[in-house]
Amino acid sequence: MNRRDAIRTAAAAAAAVAASIATGAAPVLAATDPQPLRRGGSSAQPSSGQPVPARPAAAQPATEILVRGGRVVNADGGVFADVRIVGERITEVGPGLTAGPDARVVDAAGHLVMPGGIDPHAHLQGSFADDLTTGTSAAVAGGITTVGTFAYAEDDESPVEAMDRWLAEVPRMAVGDVFFHASSWPPTPELAAMMPSLAARGQPSHKIFMTRGDFGTHRRALIDVLDAARDAGVVTLMHCEDGAILNAALTRLRDEGRTSLAYYAESRPEVAEIAATQDAVALCAHTGAPMHFVHLSSARTLDAARDPAFGALPITIETRPLYLYFTEEWLRGPDGPLYIGQPPLRSAADVEAMWQGLRDGRVDMLATDHAPWTRAQKMDPELNVGRLRPGVSDLRFVRPVLFSEGVRRGRISAERYVEVTSTAAAKAFGLYPDRGVIREGSFGDVMILDPDLAHVVDATDDPSNSDYTPFQGWALTGWPAMTIRRGEVVYEEGRVVGRAGSGRPAVRSPWGG
Ligand SMILES: [Zn+2]
Angle at 286 between CA 228 and CA 366, to 5 degrees: 80
Beta strands 488-492 and 475-485: pairing type? antiparallel
Quote the pTM value.
0.89
> 175 C-alpha vs ligand 1 centroid, how far in Å?
21
Q: What is the mean pLDDT of the chain?
A: 90
> 325 C-alpha vs ligand 1 centroid, how far in Å?
18
Residue 375 has what pLDDT? Answer: 97
> 490 C-alpha vs ligand 1 centroid, how far in Å?
26
User: Which candidate, 242, 165, 239, places its Cα nearest to that of 206?
Assistant: 239
Does the pLDDT value for residue 433 go beyond 90? Answer: yes
The answer to whether 403 touches 451, Cβ cutoff 8 Å, is yes
> 67 C-alpha vs ligand 1 centroid, how far in Å?
35
Does the pLDDT value for residue 351 go beyond 90? Answer: yes
> 487 C-alpha vs ligand 1 centroid, how far in Å?
29
Does the pLDDT value for residue 493 go beyond 90? Answer: yes
User: Which candidate, 169, 290, 170, places its Cα nearest to that of 238?
Assistant: 290
Cα torsion 421, 424, 427, 433 to 10°: value is: 60
User: Could you tell me which residues come within 8 angstroms of residue 225 by beta carbon, excluding any fewer than 6 positions away?
Assistant: 187, 188, 191, 192, 195, 236
> 48 C-alpha vs ligand 1 centroid, how far in Å?
38
> 346 C-alpha vs ligand 1 centroid, how far in Å?
17
Q: How far apart are CA 43 and CA 500, in angstroms?
A: 17
Does the pLDDT value for residue 438 go beyond 90? Answer: yes
Residue 308: strand, helix, or coil: helix
Q: How far apart are CA 453 and CA 139, in angstroms?
A: 19
Residue 301 has what pLDDT? Answer: 98
> 122 C-alpha vs ligand 1 centroid, how far in Å?
6
> 340 C-alpha vs ligand 1 centroid, how far in Å?
12
First to last CA, the chain: 14
Q: How far, in Å, are 119, 210, 212, 390, 456 from residue 339 at the CA level?
A: 20, 22, 22, 8, 20
Residue 13 has what pLDDT? Answer: 46
> 45 C-alpha vs ligand 1 centroid, how far in Å?
36
Under the banding of pLDDT at 50, 70 and 90, the label for residue 60 is low
Under the banding of pLDDT at 50, 70 and 90, the label for residue 62 is confident
Q: How many CB atoms lie within 10 A of CB 62?
A: 15
Residue 279 has what pLDDT? Answer: 98
> 360 C-alpha vs ligand 1 centroid, how far in Å?
24
> 212 C-alpha vs ligand 1 centroid, how far in Å?
14
Residue 126 has what pLDDT? Answer: 84
> 8 C-alpha vs ligand 1 centroid, how far in Å?
28
Residue 503 has what pLDDT? Answer: 98
How much is the average pLDDT of 340-345? 97
Residue 59 has what pLDDT? Answer: 57
The answer to whether 490 touches 130, Cβ cutoff 8 Å, is no
Does the pLDDT value for residue 42 go beyond 90? Answer: no
> 341 C-alpha vs ligand 1 centroid, how far in Å?
9
Q: How far apart are CA 321 and CA 304, in angstroms?
A: 21
Q: How far apart are CA 407 and CA 398, in angstroms?
A: 13
User: Could you tell me which residues come within 8 angstroms of residue 24 by beta carbon, excluding any fewer than 6 positions away?
Assistant: none
Q: How far apart are CA 17 and CA 11, in angstroms?
A: 10
How much is the average pLDDT of 247-268? 97
Q: Which residues on adjacent β-strands are paired with residue 79?
A: 72
> 301 C-alpha vs ligand 1 centroid, how far in Å?
17
User: Which candidate, 368, 226, 214, 374, places its Cα nearest to that of 287?
Assistant: 226
Does the pLDDT value for residue 242 go beyond 80? Answer: yes
Question: What pLDDT, in 10s, does the model give residues 133-187?
Answer: 999 999 999 999 999 999 999 989 999 999 999 999 999 999 999 999 999 999 9
User: Could you tell me which residues come within 8 angstroms of residue 454 by beta carbon, excluding any fewer than 6 positions away?
Assistant: 475, 476, 477
Does the pLDDT value for residue 89 go beyond 50? Answer: yes
Question: What pLDDT, in 10s, does the model give residues 117-146?
Answer: 999 999 998 889 999 999 999 999 999 999
Domains and CATH numbers, the chain: 3-114+440-496 (2.30.40.10), 118-427 (3.20.20.140)
The answer to whether 399 touches 142, Cβ cutoff 8 Å, is yes
Of all residues in the chain, what percent carry a pLDDT higher than 70? Answer: 88
> 384 C-alpha vs ligand 1 centroid, how far in Å?
20
> 120 C-alpha vs ligand 1 centroid, how far in Å?
10
**Omega into 101 within 30° of 0, i.e. cis?**
no
Higher pLDDT: 370 or 4? It is 370
Does the pLDDT value for residue 408 go beyond 50? Answer: yes
> 342 C-alpha vs ligand 1 centroid, how far in Å?
8
Does the pLDDT value for residue 281 go beyond 60? Answer: yes
Q: How far apart are CA 9 and CA 210, in angstroms?
A: 33
Higher pLDDT: 37 or 186? It is 186
Does the pLDDT value for residue 218 go beyond 60? Answer: yes
> 407 C-alpha vs ligand 1 centroid, how far in Å?
26
Residue 512 has what pLDDT? Answer: 87
Q: How far apart are CA 123 and CA 170, in angstroms?
A: 14
Q: How far, in Å, are 56, 167, 208 from residue 194 at the CA level?
A: 37, 16, 15
User: Which candidate, 246, 110, 120, places its Cα nearest to that of 176?
Assistant: 120
Question: What pLDDT, in 10s, does the model give residues 458-480?
Answer: 999 999 999 999 999 999 999 99
User: Could you tell me which residues come within 8 angstroms of residue 510 by beta carbon, excluding any fewer than 6 positions away?
Assistant: 4, 7, 8, 11, 199, 204, 232, 233, 234, 430
User: Which candidate, 512, 344, 312, places its Cα nearest to that of 430?
Assistant: 512
Question: What pLDDT, in 10s, does the model give residues 94-103?
Answer: 999 999 999 9
> 78 C-alpha vs ligand 1 centroid, how far in Å?
32
